[in-house]
Structures are given as structure tokens and as C-alpha cells.
Amino acid sequence: MDFGIFYEIQVDSPLKHREREYQAFHDVMNQVVRAEEVGFTHFWTVEHHFQVGFAHSSAPEVLYGAISQRTSKIRIGHAVVLLPFPYNHPIRIAERVATLDILSNGRVEVGTGRSITQVELGGFGIPYKETRARWEEALDIITTIWKSKDGTFSYKGKFFDIPERTVVPMPIQKPHPPLWVACTSDDTHELAGKLGLGLLSFTLLVSPERLGQRVRSYRNAIETAKPYGAFVNNRAGAFSMTHLADTDKQAREEAERAFMSYVGTTLRVNSTVLEAKKTGVDPQDLARGQVPDLPTQYEGLDPSKVTIDSLIDNGMCICGSPDTVIRQLERIQKEAQLDQFLAMMQFWSIPHAKTMHAIDLFGKYVIPHFRNDKASRPATTDAAAD
């Protein structure tokens, strides 16, 4: 199992203290350098917009360029780049990824996604019912460019009508960088497999046993994949909130505020679209106050009853001393058989020094326990596109 370090880039009270935003980005760059030194194989960030304090990674491709010049081995991954236009134009994504692939000497991974927060969808004027169709068409355009002989292509679809043009530059990874997709529901795990995309799954209020079921659904579907890209990426990864300290007690005390804040904020920003999916009412039509502050149910649980202890006990986060964390990851790996675990370790309420210590503990004790003789691989190419 490979290990990646995963970021939202959180900032404590940034509107009152803009210097903290500056410091957070520089802390992240130092953390990634340390992560590479201690054995992490991948670095990933989200792309989010308008989420003050919670996620300041709104222009991740800029950060990736800086990271690419401070590191030499760690792979650099979008987790994810938002494909529905007008978040990003697919041609611009293809251009930016190719440029980063050149600057990083072929270390790019391309996770794709849609976003289900009304604050983002509404801010960019994207109807939530169109996100999958827009994501799929953008993915088709990007892979059409990369599968072409020299970047020359044309495209006519529902959302785009592009005359013949030649895109430059092209990626140096051949045939192109590995493609992934973020998945939060049962059907998207299966869809990821059908489309031959690597899996980026989430463990927010998801037990290892439930995660294992979803990964198996993905594995079954990918056996008959018809990939958009030039090859099948059959690797499965999952993200989890992660914090290590010298003792379980210390780790719990340091992580409680951060983890509970993350759960609450994530569910609140998603609640409008989650409610719309249940009721069929367009989230733009919902008056303020009609949608609950927290969803009444998420992954079969009542979010209002979630505590740090229930998260730890049910394997829904990684928190403890190195020995405890190893046992927690063994439980996840027994059920899910992941190819990669993505550790979110930077939080607004945990000081940079404690995050660096957690990274050091993870690298010194946890990664060696799970390392095997097989070298890290960017993707598998055992099933080519038709």
C-alpha cells in the first residue's frame, strides 16, 4: 500500500488574520517536502471555492508548480480538479496538466470530480443536475486530446462545440497521466470501475466494512471497463482524517476539535444538494432555513450523535500513537485492500509543529510497517482502451 498526504489547506480565522493564510501555504510546502523525505509517495489536494477557513486550495495547479520544484520523487495529484464547466475549461485543464507534467518530470496524477456543494455550484452557475453530464463531457474532451497523435482534435457535444485545434504542450507521461475520480456514493464507485478510472474514495462517516463493500463493487466493475483514457487505472485509494502523537490520549486531544469541525463543516456545505436529491427540489429554489443545518442522516447515521470517540471506535478516522494507527490501518486494509491510503493531516486547529511531528511519526513507524517489495507504480496498463 502506498501512502499519500492529502490537503484541503485549512486556515484559522483567515478573514481577520490574512497573515495566517500566507503562513498556511508556506507550511504546506514544508510539510510536503518532509512527507517526501519520510516516505510518502503521493501529494494530493482538493479544488474548492468560497469555503473560508475550511479549504483554501482554490488554485491547486499553482501550488503544484511550486511543489514540483521543491520535490523530486513524490507524485503530485489533483484530488480533484473540478471538471464541470465553468469551473474549468477542459482544454485549459489539458494544457495545465501537461505543463505540470513537464515541470515535475512526469509525476502528475489527475483526479477528477464534480462538487456537490451549492455554495460552489451556485457561485459558478452550474445546475446540480447537470454536474455528471458536464463532468463526463469534459473528461471525454481531455482524453480525446491526450489520445490524439499530436494534440490536434475537434469536438462537438452538448456543452462544447470546438473546431479543429492543436493543443500544446502535451504530457510527457505516455500515453498520458493516470486518471482518477472522487466517489462518495455506491453508484459512483461502480461508475469509476466501468470507466476505467482510479478510485478516490472517502471515509467520512464510512466504516472500513462499508468502504470494503464499495471498493469490491469498483473492482468488479473495472473487470469489464471501457476506459475514456488510453488505459485502465485500476488502483483504489481512500482518504481519512489522520493525526498521530506520542500517545493515544495526546493524539485524541489534539485532533478532537479539528476532526469534529471537519465533519460538521463538510456535512453543512453538502446539506443543500443532499436535501435536493431526496426531495427533487432544485437547491436554488430552497429558501434559507428550509434545509437543516446538518442532514438528518448521512451514510445511515445521525450526524448530530457523532463524537470523536465514535469516529475512532468505528474506524472512520485515523488517530493515535503509531502502534494504534498501525492497527487502525490494518483494519481498513483487511476490509478494503487499498492500493493507496490518503492521509489528511493539516487542520486549522492543529499547529504546524504538531503536524510535522505527526508526519515524522507516520514516516518512521507506519509506512515501514506496510511497505512491501513492490515499487510504487503510477497506474496499471494491463487493459488498454479499445
Distance CA 2, CA 259 (A): 23
C-beta separation of 231 from 220 below 8 A: no
pLDDT reading at 181 higher than 90: yes
pLDDT reading at 174 higher than 90: yes
Question: Residue 385's pLDDT band (boundaries 50, 70, 90)?
Answer: very low
What are 5's strand-pairing partners?
43, 343
Cell numbers linked to 175: 500515453
- Based on the number of CB atoms within 10 Å of its own CB, is 226 exposed (0-12), middle (13-18) or buried (19 or more)? exposed
pLDDT reading at 284 higher than 70: no
Q: How is residue 329 annotated by DSSP?
A: H
Residues 197-225: tens digit of each pLDDT: 999 998 899 999 999 999 999 999 999 99
Q: Average pLDDT, whole number, for the chain?
A: 92
Could you give the dihedral angle defined by the CA atoms of residues 85, 89, 94 and 97, in that order, rounded to the nearest 10 degrees?
A: -80
Q: How is residue 230 annotated by DSSP?
A: S
Give the pLDDT confidence score for residue 384 in this predicted structure.
Answer: 43
- Nearest residue to 86 (alpha-carbon basis) of 169, 146, 159: 159
pLDDT reading at 116 higher than 50: yes
Give the pLDDT confidence score for residue 373 in this predicted structure.
Answer: 38
pTM above 0.85, yes or no: yes
Distance CA 282, CA 286 (A): 7
Cell numbers linked to 51: 469555503
Which amino acid type is present at position 135?
Answer: W
